[in-house]
Structure 1
Amino acid sequence: MTTSRHPALECGADIRAARRAFLGLLGAGGMVAACGAVAAGDARKQAERPWRMLVNEAVTGESNIFVLTSRYQPLSEYITGQLRAHPVINVEPTVDIQRFLTIARSPVKPELVFGKSVNQLAKLVRDEHYQPLVRRADAYKAAFIVSKDSAILTLADVGRTRAKVIMPDEFAATTAVARAELRRVGADGAQVVHTRYQEAVAQQITHGFAQVGVVNPTIARKWAEGGGRVLAETQPVVNWSILAAPTLADADVALLRTALLAMNTQSPALLATLGIKQWAAAERQDYLALLDYTKE
């Protein structure tokens, strides 16, 4: 037997079903909205998360972390002001080259790297895919120095006489290009020893602990001004540089490069405090050419 329902009851059931469907849709929409809010919150946190600027000071005399942080803080603030979306860029200076490489190669890479050990920077570009932004416009050349009365007249004499050559830290760029130049001219027979800081090289030549020293251009100039002799220079290579992490977006990389190059006219005084006259745009090939020279 067929049972029929009163039309009013059927109408009420339809209304209740429609209400349930409507509330279900509201619930789904609420979930979507909630998920969207979480995603937006994560994006905001990502944007607000401080960037890191790892600074490789190389093996110069200054090793006080507070002093080094203060030195590079104005550069950090300048970059922050250009980006705006990233309110803080924390400065992380280090003098130890191996520690610098460990941090730069870690899974969570710093967004920016300012470096003076350019042979190590070149490895980061080649092996870790860091993106070159800018470099010092002037090329880097290490110098071989001897005392003014030294019998050594050429780099060939250094190899032929198996002269003792004192160089900075074995991981330093100065050392890498000096070894490359000795190899290029066939002076591999030289006896190479290392000292921690470049400033100590000239002192040891003065006191007769070695016949030849390898120094940076600043020390070479002071050496010549003091009456010493610059025997030769290495080939010119790419100089101090700023790199961007491989994860940085193309738009951020372009913005950073433009902002840093603008320092040449907008912030020359800030550049001067860093020991830089001008920035030039850096290209990946600059760093590969350096490694081709040093065979690293």
Structure 2
Amino acid sequence: MRWLVVGANGMLGQDLVRLLQERGEAVRTADRSASGVTDVLDITDARACVDVVTDVDVVVNCAAYTAVDDAEQHEATAFAVNAVGAGNLARAASRSGARIVQISTDYVFDGASETPYAEDGALAPQSAYGRTKGAGEWAVRAECPDHLIVRTAWLYGAAGACFPKTIARIAAERGGLDVIDDQVGQPTWTSDLADLILRLVAARVPSGIYHGTSSGAVSWHGFAQAIVASAGLDPQIVRPTTSAQFVRPAPRPAYSVLGHDALERVAVAPIGSWAERWALASGSVLGALV
């Protein structure tokens, strides 16, 4: 199978490319930066998307404007990447007969639920980032019938800046830190999400929306304690605090737990428990920090 990974220099993109290469798949890479990729591609350029999306079976769009707080002041720029760009890629994929995999986010929901969000739940984004990603989902569905929309959340990985690396560094430098305990979600390893994408494509699942997050749930505070313990420090140095003490430009969902019913319906196993996966991932993610 021939793959094109767009946004290949990002944290998820790097892990996906690595996994595809390890499994002997034919893979081309594209990114806005020319560093280490097959094709330079600005996905906001519709013509460029058509030129690059050729002779492939699967296009995975890992490219996104992910500066959540900056998007509040630059929503048009975020929309150009997350909605228009996603639509451009989907249209090009449809034209070339390829399936597109669009990576989306928990931010498309309102964060007010007390039970896991279903794949067909009503979208109610509370931030500019969430609005633009929700628009991207709509654009992909409209432009390419053969699509998989994979929502994820709380991503971490070895190939980029992420919450675990920040927490481990601050804990070592300061000997203690305060972390929010009133936001709950599913920490998800990029290697696990990459593997899920491959399994979904291999299983030839029907077009639709799937949730690519670890199982279970934890607060940022609980996750930070697990991170600090993995770094060989006392988890009690992580003190609980509330969102009210860390006001930021973009609202964060209080509840970001996604359900996995769609995966179970197509007999594709969800990613395992966040705690078990973190225990496996921690060495490679924290690397020289521990």
TM-score scaled to structure 1, two decimals? Answer: 0.30
Q: More relative contact order in 1 or in 2 (CA 8 Å, sep 6+)?
A: 1
The structure with the greater share of residues assigned to helix is 1
TM-score scaled to structure 2, two decimals? Answer: 0.30
Instruction: Flag the structure with larger Rg.
Output: 1
